[in-house]
Structure 1
Amino acid sequence: MASVDEVPPGQSKVVPIGRWGVGVYNVNGRFYAIANYCPHEGGPLCAGRTHGQTVKDDSVPGGAVEIRDGEFIYCPWHQWGFELATGTTAIKPEWSIRTYPVRVEDGKIIVTA
């Protein structure tokens, strides 16, 4: 799979598992794994960028802030956003992405499919 050193905090790595591959993400020391496939139109989801979630906050200029930095992946084709931990999307919840259990043993990231 991959070693912990290969995926430092804030980084990711796509590994060749299955038809499209699996993206492994390190968000502040916690690892997540998702299918590299966007259910919207089949885009390479893991080629997108990770961001936080934008929420309304009338107390700041512009009226919005970003929370949960790095916990969401956005498809590079149409910017559909998915939560890395659960695979859910606010756009069309029935089109959530597949996530995989991840554990770390002896410095190795192990994804269970």
Structure 2
Amino acid sequence: GEAVVPVANCDVKEYNSNPKEQLPFKEFVEYWREYIGNGHRSSRGCLYLKDWHLSRSGLIPKILGSGIAFPEQDVYTTPVYFSSDWLNEYWDAVAVDDFRFVYMGPKG
């Protein structure tokens, strides 16, 4: 819950995109619960967690209760139809970046 995650406001447009802010993950989850409880409305707009690099955030050992280096941890299983990962085959080899993102948020 202490992870800081990128959150986009889907109700606001800036240069054909949505502005982002950094929020603690637990605050985003609280917002999401309130948003649903209020009939999918909020004075903050429709917020969506977007482009979170979970695998490189350093949080996986905390989540899994392990001290093992986080990039090797499996926190989910990729569906077979998406298992061929051409972009990350290269980026994993050069160890510069990755294209593994987490997206989540309420409907709307």
Question: Which entry has the higher C-alpha Rg, 1 or 2?
Answer: 2
TM-score scaled by structure 2? 0.25
Q: Highest relative contact order (Cα 8 Å, sep 6+), 1 or 2?
A: 2
Higher share of residues assigned strand:
1
